[in-house]
Every structure is written in C-alpha cells, then in structure tokens.
Amino acid sequence: MGQLIILLPALPILAALINQVFSRQLGAQAARLSVSTAIVTFVLAVVVLGNVLSSGGAPNQIALGGTWGILLADPLSSLMAVLISGISLIVRIYSVRYMVEERGYGRFFMLLDLMTASLLIMVAAGDLITLLVAWHLVGVLLYFLLGFDTRSATASRYAFWTLITYRIGDMAMVLAAALLFHAYGTWSLSDIFTQISENPGAHQYFGFALEEVVGMLLAVAAFARSAQFLLHTWLPYTMDGPSPVSALMHAGIVNAGGFLINRFAPVFIQTDTVLHILFAVGLATAIIGSVLMLTQNDIKKALGYSTMGQMGFMIMECGVGAFSLAIYHLIAHGLFKGTLFLSAGSVINEARQHDGVPKQDLYTFVVERRPAIMRQPWLVMAGITLAVPIVILILAHWMVAQDFFQKQGAIVLLFFGWVTGAQLLFTTYRMGSQNVWRLVGIVIISFAVIVLGYTLISHAFDLFLYPDSAFRSQIHAAAGIDVFWFDVLVVLTTAIIVSGWVLTYYSEQNRLWGQEQLNYLWLSFYALVSREFYLTDLYAWCARAMLKTAARMNELLRWR
C-alpha cells in the first residue's frame, strides 16, 4: 500500500519531467505520454480505494521523513484521489485535440501533470508541511494554467486576481499550522488530532481556545479556495483561460475548501462558533451565487457563478455538521460541472445554428412567457406542493436512519430539501399543461428517486468516512444551537418563503396594490444584481486608491 501511495503523485511528476526535458523530441507525443500516465494513475487510485474498502477504512501511511513528508491512505484521501485522477484523465483526453493548435502544447500537459500531482499530494498529506507545500503549489500552478495564453491581457489579469486571493487563504493556513506546531510540537496530523481529542481546550490564544482560533483560520483558507462571498470575485472572471483548465478548476480545485474542513474534522468538532460561521457564510454564498448566475449572458460565467452557489451550499453543509455529505456533494458537483465546461463550446456552436428547443409546455413557459390554458385549482396544487416533498423526504431518511431527525443539522437539510421540492412543484403548477397530472406525477416520481438515491449514497459516505458513531454524534452536536433560537430561525425562514409564494400568486393575478412601484423595485434589484452588487467596482476602486497612495508616499519620501 505504501508504494502505491507514493506512485500516485510520482507518476505525473515523472511525466512532467520527461515532457520538460525532452519537449523538442517529443513534440505532439507529449500528450500521449500525459494521457498514458493519467490512465495508470487512475487505475492505481481505484486500487488504493479498493484496498481501503477491504481493510474497513483503516488508515495506512508512509513517511519520507520523521514527522513530515507523510502520505496517508484513508477513506477521505482515497475517495479524493479517484475523483482527481478521473477528472484529470478526462481533461487530458479532451485537451489532446482542443489544445493542439495552441503554442506551448507540451508545456500545457506538463502543467496538467504537475497540477494533478500537487492535488494528489494535498489530499494524501498526513502532516502540516506536506499539506502547506501542496496547497501553495496548487495555487501557483493554477495561476500559470489560467494565464496559459500569454497574449491575452485579460487572462493574465484575472489569473493574478486568483493568485492574490489564494494568498489570503495561504497566509491563514500557514498561521494555523504554526499555532498547531507551537502547541503540540509535531507536524503529524494524526498526532495533533490525538492530542486534541485527549485534552481539548488545553491551549489558549488571546483568550480563545486554540481549536477556535485554528478553526477560524482554516475556515478563511477554505473561503478563499472555494470562492465564498467577498472572496469570490476571482472565480467568475477566470473564464478566459482554456476550457480544460476551467473544467479541472471547477471540478477539483475549487472544491478544496470542503476537503480541508473534512481533513481537520477533529479540530472543528471542538469549534461550535466556527461551524455557525461556516453555515452563515455558506448560506449567503449559495443564495448570492445562484442569483448572480441568473443574470449572466455568458455561458461560462454563468457556470462560474453556479459553482460559487454550489460551493456555498457545500460549506453550509459542513456548517450544519454534514461533513460527509459535503464530500459527496463536491464529488457529484465535480463530475457534473466538469462535463458542463467541456461541452460548453459545443453548446455555443449549436446555439448559433439553431436553438434546438422543442415547442412544448416548458418552452412556452420559460422562453415565450406564455403559460398553457389549463390550470388546476390553487388550493389543490398548494396542498400537493407543500405536503408531497416533506412526505418523500421524511420517508426516505426514515428508511435509512431513524435517528436522523434528532439532529438539528439534519432538520436544516430536510428544510432546504422541502423548499426545493415545493418550488419545483410550484413552478410546475405555474407552467400549466394540457395534462397537468401526468406532468406532476413525473415530477414527483423523479423527485422521490433522486431523494432516495441521494439519501442512500450520502448515508454510505457517512459510514465510510466516519465509521465511529460517537465521532459522528460529536460533529452534529458541535453544529447545534440553542433550541429556542433554532425554532425562531425555522419560523422566520418559513414565513419568508410562504410570503414569497403568496406575493407571486397575487402578482400573477394582478391583485397587488402599487404594481408599478413593485415593477420599479424589481428593475432596481435586477440592475443591482447585473452589476454584481458593485463588489468588483469596489475592489477595483480600492486597488486604484492603494496604488495612488503608494505613488504619493513615494513622492513625499523621495524614494528613487
């Protein structure tokens, strides 16, 4: 097992070295070497995952130094290795023809090999030094990949934006590692986690427990890497890079925040305040990213904001204690979003020829804004909309884990699932149809299948990643809040959602007073969203102000 762990990053590193040293001799064969290496790496990753499964999830590690240079094969690293190597393989195969006419063909595959190796080292790192080095290298290599076309000033500019944002998270990571080493005298993650579990709260910094301080620093690192709100502006503006890079970035690199929180789960179970912050930031990011996605007229930028929203939901899942669910989410999202980016060019090309959209109920509702004639009674559809999703969700989770409803985080996730399902049925009602019951039936069956599959798979992930039931209970307990405030939040959120539905209904019936004022408010909100809440303008103004201040100081101090 130890040799396989080393081989996983060693193979792409070897391929990168060969491509760099023999680039002139290899020519276009550099792509074949990179793809061949990726196939072998993926097979080895699957073998490692199989060994971890057969051993019951028992971790296995090999150390190149004393308490540094440790590579770890455990459930988390083996799952992430399969995801990274699999998506990397697909991206390379796609790039063979896509990048063939670009300058630096061999250099591109060398960078892909190094990126894959860095990601594999990052997820398998068993000590702080190895994790920090790999974490930093991923950001640097992403800068070179995003700015691969050196003739594009826009690509270079936003690649630099990404590098600067990542450095914010890197500084937080370095400080967290320094505090942990100072407190426990070792770089080994397993040794640090053991000492924390045996004696939590033993160290204090600035009046706060060490776990709280380190947890907040790690949260900042996750926010920067996973494009959370206020640190998100780099993500949608990196679309000028090659499409394979966008696919790899959205499918693997931007997901690193969820991985980091899971890797340091023994720290976060001692940090209830930080988990609440994760939930709040993730929720805000999910809402804002989804709203901004709806106003984009560029398909890749829309996908970028979609990723932002999904990453917000992933961080929010961590905030409610659903750590393993976040891993399942990032894997599913990585596969889905990677495919979307690789097919974006074909979609754009086909749309230029013809829209290819059939003139059916969905088309007339979404495109032509013309609902069908048939409508069912409002009260009947309202009852179905509210009752059916919650019944499906409760039954699906009760079949898998009957104690699921005793955890606050689970209730929050059920609540969001109910809102999603209810919104789906509500939209179906607004569409109208000549045979509405057939349409609603298909929606309900599809929703039930998806919920049941999602529940079963997420429960399997939970048992695989965290087989200790006591540890799982600690995670959910740390994410809990006072019951009174939890009930208040649920009631307020329900009131907001129901008010929105009622407002929409009366708006369609033209029964609202001040309809013109309401339309003006909607247009004003759309203008605000279309300018992305003026955040990019604010950051640009701050950058210009800093440069002017620096220039003025240079003049005053007469530095030459």
Give the confidence band of 402 by pLDDT, cuts at 50, 70, 90: low
Whether the CB-CB separation of 344 and 300 falls below 8 Å is answered with yes
Bigger pLDDT: 336 vs 418: 336
Where is pLDDT greater, at 347 or 165?
165
CA 417 to chain centre: 18
**Residue predicted with more confidence, 132 or 447:** 132
Q: 256-263 and 299-319 are packed helices; what angle lies between their axes, rounded to 10 degrees?
A: 10
- Of 41-45, 74-78, 131-135, 392-396, which range is least confident? 392-396
Least confident window among 115-129, 161-175, 430-444: 430-444
How confident is the model over 100-120, as a mean pLDDT? 90
Give the per-residue pLDDT at 388. 76
Compute the distance between CA of residue 366 and CA of residue 355 in angstroms, rounded to an integer. 14
**What pLDDT, on a 0 to 100 scale, did the predictor assign at position 506?**
67
Between 184 and 514, the more confident residue is 184
Rounded to an integer, the average pLDDT of 293-317 is 88
**pLDDT average, residue stretch 10-24:** 89
Per-position b or e across 486-497, b if 16+ CB within 10 A of its CB: eeeeeeeeeeee
Summarize pLDDT for 24-63 with one digit per residue, the tens. Answer: 777 778 889 999 999 999 999 999 999 999 888 788 888 8
Asked if the model's pLDDT at residue 513 lies above 60, the reply is no
Q: Of the candidates 79, 104, 46, 121, which has an alpha carbon nearest to the alpha carbon of residue 245? A: 104
Using CA atoms, how far residue 146 sits from 35, 123, 152, 245, 296, in Å, is: 20, 22, 10, 7, 21
Whether 256 contacts 226, CB under 8 Å? yes
Kindly state the DSSP code that residue 127 receives in the 8-state scheme.
B
Q: Describe the crossing of helices 436-465 and 408-431 by its angle, rounded to 10 degrees.
A: 160
Identify whether the C-beta of residue 455 lies closer than 8 Å to the C-beta of residue 400: yes
pLDDT, mean of residues 61-70: 82
pLDDT score at 123:
95
**Looking at per-residue confidence, does 143 or 100 come out higher?**
143
pLDDT at 205 over 50: yes
Q: Is the pLDDT of residue 376 over 60?
A: no
Identify the pLDDT of residue 511.
56
Determine contact, residues 530/523, Cβ cutoff 8 Å.
no
- Residues 374-378 have a mean pLDDT of 57
* Number of neighbouring beta carbons within 10 Å of residue 471: 14
More confident of the two residues 42 and 151: 42
415 neighbors 498 (Cβ within 8 angstroms): no
CA torsion angle 183 186 190 191 (round to 10): -70
Average per-residue pLDDT for the chain: 84
Query: What is the Cα gyration radius of the chain?
Result: 25
Is pTM beyond 0.85? Reply is yes
Share of the chain above pLDDT 70, in %: 86
pLDDT band for position 315 (50/70/90)?
A: very high
Per the listing, tokens 């939209």 go with: 427
Query: What is the mean pLDDT of the segment spanning 178-205?
Result: 92
* 204 membership: H or E segment, kind and range: strand 204-205
Q: Of 135-139, 184-188, 543-547, where does mean pLDDT reach its minimum?
A: 543-547
Write a three-state SS string for 341-409: HHHHHHHHHHHHHCCCCCCCHHHHHHCCCCCCCCCCCHHHHHHHHHHHHHHHHHHHHHHHCHHHHHCHH
Q: Is residue 364 very low, low, confident or very high in pLDDT (cuts 50, 70, 90)? A: low
Torsion (CA) 265, 271, 276, 278 in degrees, nearest 10: -40
Q: How many CB atoms lie within 10 A of CB 323?
A: 28
Residues 6+ apart with CB under 8 A from 108: 95, 99, 102, 145, 148, 242
Query: Is the model's pLDDT at 467 over the cut of 70?
Result: yes
Window from 86-90, 135-139, 248-252, 462-466 with minimum mean pLDDT: 248-252
β-bridge partners, 72? 61
DSSP letter at 374 equals -
Q: Which is more confident, 361 or 403?
A: 403
Report, as an integer, the average pLDDT of 316-335: 90
pLDDT at 358: 52
Tokens representing 429?
Answer: 């009602």
Which phi and psi (to 5°) does residue 321 adopt? 90, 5
Q: Taking 60 as the threshold, does the pLDDT of residue 124 lie above it?
A: yes
Per-residue confidence at 113, pLDDT binned at 50, 70, 90? very high
pLDDT score for 451: 78
525, containing H or E segment: helix 515-530
Q: What is the pLDDT of residues 250-298, one digit of tens each?
A: 767 899 999 999 999 999 999 889 999 999 999 999 999 988 988 888 7
User: Domain segments of the chain: what residues?
Assistant: 1-126, 155-356, 369-481, 517-560
Above 90 in pLDDT, residue 222?
yes
Q: How far apart are CA 166 and CA 249, in angstroms?
A: 13
Q: Rounded distance, CA 406 to CA 413, Å? A: 13
Strands 60-63 and 70-73: antiparallel
DSSP 371: -
Report helix, strand or coil for 260.
helix
pLDDT at residue number 369: 47
**Which residues, including other chains, have CB under 8 Å from residue 33's CB and lie 6 or more apart?**
15, 18, 19, 26, 109
- Answer for the pair 424, 447: CB distance below 8 angstroms, yes or no: yes
pLDDT computed for residue 45 by the predictor = 95
Q: What is the pLDDT of residue 351?
A: 65
How high is the pLDDT of residue 226?
Answer: 93
What DSSP line would sit under 446-508, residue for residue?
A: HHHHHHHHHHHHHHHHHHHH---HHHHHHHHHHT---HHHHHHHHHHHHHHHHHHHHHHHHHH
The closest of 322, 181, 332, 183 to 252, measured between CA atoms, is 332
pLDDT value at position 504?
67
Q: How confident is the model at residue 374 (pLDDT cuts 50, 70, 90)?
A: low
Is 80 exceeded by the pLDDT of residue 405? no
pLDDT tens digits, 436-455: 667 677 777 877 777 777 78
∠ Cα 413 285 318 (to 5°): 40
What pLDDT is stored for residue 326 in this prediction? 92
Among 10-14, 49-53, 387-391, 551-555, whose mean pLDDT is lowest?
387-391
What is the rounded CA–CA span in Å between residue 13 and residue 499? 56
| Greater pLDDT, 171 or 388 | 171
Q: Which ranges of 147-271 would DSSP assign to H, the alpha helix?
A: 153-184, 189-198, 210-225, 243-248, 256-263, 265-268
Query: What is the model's pLDDT at position 355?
Result: 57
CA distance 202 to 182: 13
pLDDT at 436 (0 to 100): 65
